[in-house]
Structure 1
């Protein structure tokens, strides 16, 4: 399920995300929950913010969250639909672009 929330305050969005993650827990304890992030700095900040949301008597840990950049999420989605062979190296990824530029 893809849900989009907009706000000018990151703290409010993080609190809302914590509530949504708690409300929509996967059936399996080992199944990760996927969260799309804008950049790696947001991943660090959001992980620490979600860890603060826990109950005081529990350790402050945010675990089993699969935080992906939008491109990574699209790659995983394409791999699940098209298969691994079709998405071996995405043409817009750094490794593929390097050789294309070199051949020019």
Structure 2
């Protein structure tokens, strides 16, 4: 059984978009960790009708600024918006830790 623990921490979330690219920076101060997700939706100049496909490439960069070695795993799911469960709270981002109860599996969810 996976247990979710809501962590109230200060996360600086910055989003920038410059079509066809965008990037989001998560500054997780509690862990002294920065996660940058870069995205590009490939479009060929002068051929946007044939090249504007519903695809994207994502590159994730993790910067550990702490003095502690951290093991980081990346899992990705996608939904339009911020991922908030309630549409009227689309601008609200959340952070939660999870463990499986045995200590074998743990992580965080943005």
TM-score of the two chains, using structure 1 as the length reference: 0.26
Greater RCO, CA 8 A, separation 6+:
2
TM-score of the two chains, using structure 2 as the length reference: 0.25
Structure having the larger proportion of residues in helix: 1
Structure having the larger proportion of residues in strand: 2
